[in-house]
Amino acid sequence: MNNYHTHTYRCMHAFGSDEEYVKAAIKAGIKELGFSDHTPWPYDNFKSHMRMEENQLTEYIESLVYLKDKYSNKICIKIGLECEYFPDYIPWLKETYEKNKLDFLILGIHFYPTDQNVKYMHAKPMDENTFNNYLLACIKGMETGMFEYLAHPDLFLRFVPKMDKKYQDASIKIIKKAKSLDLPLEYNLNSLYYKSNGFHNPSDEFWKLVADYNAPTIIGFDAHSPQFLTERELYINSKKYLKNLGIKPLKKLELKS
Ligand SMILES: [Zn+2]
Ligand SMILES: [Zn+2]
């Protein structure tokens, strides 16, 4: 079992120390653990409440490098970030990725085209504009070639109990793009865990389409607590669920570093 979607306390809505995540992952039998906390962005004059600040990035990386070394005989740690597609900041992200020799980036669309005084997209049913932005950000983000996979692609279906044609077409566009780029779509366990709260993602309809188009898939915990990494049942049941649909999730990302 591997997982590339792990947050840290720095995003202010995840809990536990970095080391506790590593220990929990080892306990759970995870062989490769990717940290992908919410990326900072180079704002001029804005403070986000759901991500680290730009000046925390070095410490985040140093802490993980230390743990990577300390636990190298028990687990393989990869250092990454979860990023939105913010067009104006893509050059900064590219530079940050290269300068810090990060192992990987994942794409997760929460805001567009920035989060400076822009509302979180998934707090309530989407209006037309938000819907269009979500679709655009997924497609354009995947097309950059910078990301290893698309996290929670079906998050836009959170408040959609049954897809109409508009949602179906958007789903197919995302899935076809992922397929053509050979970029995995993430079956998100954190969403699954909270699905009972009246949310509709992961969406059965969406994942049936993923199976129809035979698009690459990966399971991600999206852990916001160390404890969550030990939810082995959730992982195993999801694997079975996907298998029943005819989807064989990718076990491991082939990272350059
Ligand atoms: Zn996310
Ligand atoms: Zn996440």
Domains by residue range for the chain, with CATH = 2-245 (3.20.20.140)
- For residue range 43-59, what is the model confidence (pLDDT) as tens digits? 999 999 999 999 999 99
- For residue range 160-199, what is the model confidence (pLDDT) as tens digits? 999 999 999 999 999 999 999 999 999 999 999 999 778 9
- For residue range 12-22, what is the model confidence (pLDDT) as tens digits? 999 999 999 99
What would the mean pLDDT of 61-80 be, rounded to a whole number? 98
Neighbours of 127 (CB within 10 A): 9
Helices (H), 46-127: 57-70, 90-99
Q: What residues flank ion ligand 1 with Cβ within 5 A?
A: 108
Distance of CA 110 from the midpoint of ligand 1 (Å): 7
Q: 3-state class of 83 per DSSP?
A: strand
What would the mean pLDDT of 198-206 be, rounded to a whole number? 95
Contact 158, 126 (CB under 8 A): no
Residue 171's contacts (CB-CB under 8 Å, 6 or more residues apart) are 154, 157, 163, 203, 205, 206, 209
Distance of CA 239 from the midpoint of ligand 1 (Å): 20
Q: The sheet that has 76-83: what strands, in order across it?
A: 2-3, 32-38, 76-83, 104-107, 149-150, 185-188, 217-220
Identity (one letter) of the amino acid at 224?
Answer: H
Exposed/middle/buried for residue 26 (C-beta within 10 Å: 0-12, 13-18, 19+): middle
**Mean pLDDT rounded to a whole number for the chain:** 97
- Which two tokens mark 254? 């082939």
- Which two tokens mark 123? 């707090």
Distance of CA 200 from the midpoint of ligand 2 (Å): 17
Where residue 257 falls among pLDDT bands split at 50, 70, 90?
Answer: low
Distance of CA 98 from the midpoint of ligand 2 (Å): 21
Residue 226's contacts (CB-CB under 8 Å, 6 or more residues apart) are 15, 16, 20, 21, 23, 24
- Which two tokens mark 118? 């822009």
Distance of CA 11 from the midpoint of ligand 2 (Å): 10
Where residue 32 falls among pLDDT bands split at 50, 70, 90?
Answer: very high
Residue 190: nearest ligand to its CA? 2
DSSP 19-41: HHHHHHHHHHT-SEEEEEEEPP-
Distance of CA 89 from the midpoint of ligand 1 (Å): 18
CA-wise closest residue to 85 among 62, 68, 58, 107:
107
Give the distance from CA 136 to its chain's centroid. 17
